[in-house]
């Protein structure tokens, strides 16, 4: 089971009242927003790493890749 911590934020009183009137679950909304932002940033980080790996792999001649694959298969 995950452990939880408390995160607080200040919002205008009018906004808080509107959210209460609309029966918006503030905790659920904030939790979901944070989870989505973290996921978005993780995906962006992975996209950057994939692009960097792609650039690095482009520098390796295809013949070298073929040679390494064949050597690996022969070692099995």
Where do the structural domains in the chain lie, given as residue ranges? 13-75
Q: Could you read off the pLDDT tens digit of each residue along the chain, which spans 76 residues?
A: 679 999 999 999 999 999 999 999 999 999 999 999 999 999 999 999 999 999 999 999 989 989 899 988 888 7
Distance between CA atoms of residues 7 and 60, nearest Å: 48
**Alpha carbon separation from 5 to 2, 8, 51, 53, 69 (Å, rounded):** 10, 10, 35, 36, 48
Token code pair at residue 43: 């995906």
């Amino acid at each position: 089971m995950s452990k939880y911590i408390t995160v607080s934020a200040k919002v205008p009183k009018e906004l808080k009242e509107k959210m209460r009137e609309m029966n918006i679950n503030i905790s659920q909304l904030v939790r979901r927003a944070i989870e989505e932002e973290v996921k978005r940033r993780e995906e962006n980080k992975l996209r950057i790493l994939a692009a960097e790996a792609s650039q690095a792999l482009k520098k390796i001649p295809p013949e070298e890749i073929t040679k390494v694959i064949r050597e690996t298969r022969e070692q099995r």
